[in-house]
């Protein structure tokens, strides 16, 4: 699988449609589009949009950003059929809308490489699906490839690594740690495992990548990460530093089944476009997040 096929430029005019507009990344994307003067139609369950039943609203659109999906890996293990229905068939329905209207899609995918053979991980690395969520998102990718190759729909696929930033739900790791650090009633920070390492990328850098996708033609696939990894223990240390905290921390020694111990994205394909690079360092991102949401 090549990281990119053909691409060129498209005019950045007209309305943008965003599914999953009320989600974590979706809210940031909508805000960025509007700040740039774009007209945006927000589509989400909160606004009554059903990915499995509804079509795009009437009118012209220049691009569809498809972010809507069932997420959260533990929930996917409990209901894999529903995850596949929403994330695969729902994506297929949106691709058909793009085909009928002659507009491109920007598709938000996920980490699909399982335990990698080597680091950093390029887009050409073997796909190793190790949970139902990843399986459903890759099925969406396959639909994207089919519509690009068979129907000529321009699709840019963005495989997000670990995204963090303002407004993220508290059950994700970084907000969870910050909550424990900042809560005076919590005597020590308790986590399951301090060893696993992940590639964390700030949500503003993710939005910049997605905005690039609207100007690409053909079929494109990109990793979106920072190009470096940090362990759970390293995250705790970084947060304690910005918080000025000496609160002790420990792990209970609980390792998840099929745990991947280190993940680093090869982001060279995205860098080679000449229009994107990660701008927010992990240290700066943690400092700003602590100041705005937890201080």
Residue 95 lies in a domain: yes
pLDDT at 3: 45
Which structural domain range is residue 144 located in? Answer: 15-163+202-225+265-271
pLDDT at 295: 80
- On the 0-12 / 13-18 / 19+ scale of CB atoms within 10 A, 128 is middle
Q: How many domains does the chain have?
A: 1
Burial readout 255-293 (b: 16 or more C-beta within 10 A, e: otherwise): eeeeebeebbbbbebbeebeebebebebeebbbbbbeeb
Q: Give per-residue pLDDT as tens, 124-168.
A: 999 999 899 999 999 999 999 999 999 999 999 999 999 999 999
Residue 74 lies in a domain: yes
Residue 292 lies in a domain: no
The pTM score is 0.93
pLDDT at 14: 75
pLDDT at 89: 98
- Mean pLDDT split into 10-residue runs, the chain, 295 residues: 39 80 98 96 96 96 97 92 98 98 98 96 96 97 98 98 96 96 97 97 98 96 98 98 97 89 98 97 98 90
pLDDT at 81: 98
Residue 139 lies in a domain: yes
Quote the mean pLDDT of the chain.
94
- CATH number for position 32: 3.40.50.720
Residue 75 lies in a domain: yes
pLDDT at 13: 55
Is the CB of residue 34 less than 8 Å from the CB of residue 156? no
Residue 280 lies in a domain: no
pLDDT at 72: 85
Residue 134 lies in a domain: yes
Residue 257 lies in a domain: no
Q: Which of 139, 265, 152 is nearest to 198 (CA)?
A: 265
pLDDT at 261: 96
Write phi, then psi, for 264 (nearest 5 degrees). -135, 125
Pair type for strands 197-198 and 230-231: antiparallel
Q: Which residues pair with 17 in a beta bridge?
A: 41, 64
């Amino acid at each position: 699988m090549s990281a990119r096929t053909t691409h060129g430029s498209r005019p950045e005019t007209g309305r943008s449609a965003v599914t999953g507009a009320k989600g974590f990344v979706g809210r940031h994307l909508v805000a960025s589009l509007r700040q740039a003067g774009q007209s945006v139609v927000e589509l989400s369950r909160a606004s009554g949009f059903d990915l499995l039943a509804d079509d795009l609203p009437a009118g012209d659109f220049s691009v569809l950003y498809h972010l809507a999906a069932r997420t959260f890996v533990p929930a996917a293990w409990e209901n894999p059929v529903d995850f596949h229905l929403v994330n695969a068939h729902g994506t297929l329905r949106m691709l058909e809308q793009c085909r009928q209207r002659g507009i491109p899609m920007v598709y938000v995918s996920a980490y699909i490489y399982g335990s990698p053979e080597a680091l950093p991980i390029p887009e050409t690395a073997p796909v190793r699906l190790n949970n139902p969520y990843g399986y459903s998102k890759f099925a969406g990718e396959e639909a994207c490839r089919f519509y690009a190759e068979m129907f000529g729909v321009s699709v840019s696929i963005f495989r997000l690594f670990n995204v963090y930033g303002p407004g993220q739900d508290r059950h994700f790791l970084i907000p969870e740690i910050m909550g424990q650090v900042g809560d005076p009633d919590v005597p020590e920070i308790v986590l399951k495992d301090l060893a696993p390492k992940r590639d964390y990328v700030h949500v503003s850098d993710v939005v910049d990548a997605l905005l690039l996708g609207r100007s690409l033609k053909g079929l494109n696939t990109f990793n979106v990460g920072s190009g470096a990894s940090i362990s759970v223990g390293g995250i705790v240390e970084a947060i304690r530093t910005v918080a000025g905290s000496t609160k002790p921390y420990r792990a209970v020694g609980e390792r998840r089944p099929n745990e991947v111990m280190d993940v680093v994205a090869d982001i060279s394909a995205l860098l080679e476009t000449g229009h994107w690079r990660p701008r927010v360092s992990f240290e700066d991102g943690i400092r700003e997040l602590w100041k705005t949401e937890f201080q």
